[in-house]
Every structure is written in C-alpha cells, then in structure tokens.
Amino acid sequence: MLSDLRLVASLLTPLLLGFLFHGLCMKFRWLSRLAIPIDQGRTLRGQRLFGANKTYRGIVAVGFGTALGFGFRSYAWSHTGSEPQWLGSPGMAPFGFGFLVGAAAMMAELPNSFVKRQLGIEAGQAGRGVFGFVFYFFDQIDMLLGVWLVLALAIAVTPSLVAWSVVFLFVVHQLFTVAGHRLGMRSTWR
C-alpha cells in the first residue's frame, strides 16, 4: 500500500510544478495573451458556461509546468539509473507526456465549473450545506479524471492508486491553495 502512495506521489509531483508555474503566470501576468476565458463570455440560461477563471492560459501553463516536471524527473532518473519502466511506454518523450497530463488535468475541471455556474455558485465558492461540502471536496480532486485518463496510457490504473491519488491531491491542494493565496497568486484561499 505504501508503494502505491509512493508511486502516486511520484506521478503527481510533476503536476504540482504545473500548478506552481500557473500561479506564477497569474501573479506576474506571464502568458497574458492566453488569459482568455475558454467560454469567451458565453452563457447558458443566463449563467457563464465555465466562468472567467477557466482560461487557455491555465491549460497551457499547467501543461508546460507539468511537462517540465516530467522532464526534470526523467533527467534525474536517467542519471541515477532508476528510471521506471513505465516512463517509456506511452511512446513519447516525458515532456510531451507531461504536457498531456497537465492539460488534461485542467480540462477535467471544466465539467465541475459548468455545473457550479449553472447552479449559480461563483468561482472559488462551494455553495452551502451538504452540496457545499460535496462541491468543495470535488473542486480539490476533479482534475484527477483527466490525469488518470492520460496516465492510463502508461500504467495500469488500480483502485488503490486512484484512492491514494484522491488523498494525496486533496491534502496537497489544500496546502497549495492557502500558500498561493498568501503569496498573491490566487484571489481566494479555497
């Protein structure tokens, strides 16, 4: 079981670099030409489709940062002789694979954002009551669907890996969100 947690940490740590790079892009206005809302202001029933916070910059920045994370990890492993067998199995370079992981993570957030906007829940908010808790929890892990769809190209997805990824990402997401807010990289602490 701990080996599954170690594998999950190894697989998701490059994604954290993607989030960090995205936070830096927001703070320092890097890639600002891509800070265009994906829904481009379109609405359904008077509500935005995804909201202003879901931008092309997010997909590109998290994809690029995650690509760097996979690239750095591959470089380090190749110099220690401990590169995992699965890394070469997708048939692409670690940078390309990492970009797909990061971009898929960000795109997997779109359905949750769509539902929240249609329910009138603003970006960065969770709602109230039981639904509020459900939306808050899901907001922290919704990207895992996209991550696992891409990772499934390289490794066998097991219930244990998925469960550990939920725990790992939920805890780390809390820490990153609070730190990002305190450093001025996020407008909310949630």
Q: What letter represents residue 165's amino acid? A: S
Q: What's the whole-number mean pLDDT along residues 33-58?
A: 96
Exposed/middle/buried for residue 156 (C-beta within 10 Å: 0-12, 13-18, 19+): exposed
Give the Cα separation of 127 and 190 in Å (integer): 12
Percent pLDDT > 90 in the chain is 63
**pLDDT tens by residue, 63-108:** 999 999 999 988 887 777 665 555 544 456 889 999 999 999 999 9
**Side-chain half-sphere exposure of 129, counting CA atoms within 13 A:** 1
pLDDT exceeds 70 at position 178: yes
- Does residue 48 sit in helix, strand or coil? strand
Give the Cα separation of 169 and 178 in Å (integer): 14
Closest CA to 69 of 49, 54, 82, 87: 87
Asked if residue 56 lies in contact with residue 34, where contact means CB atoms within 8 angstroms, the answer is yes
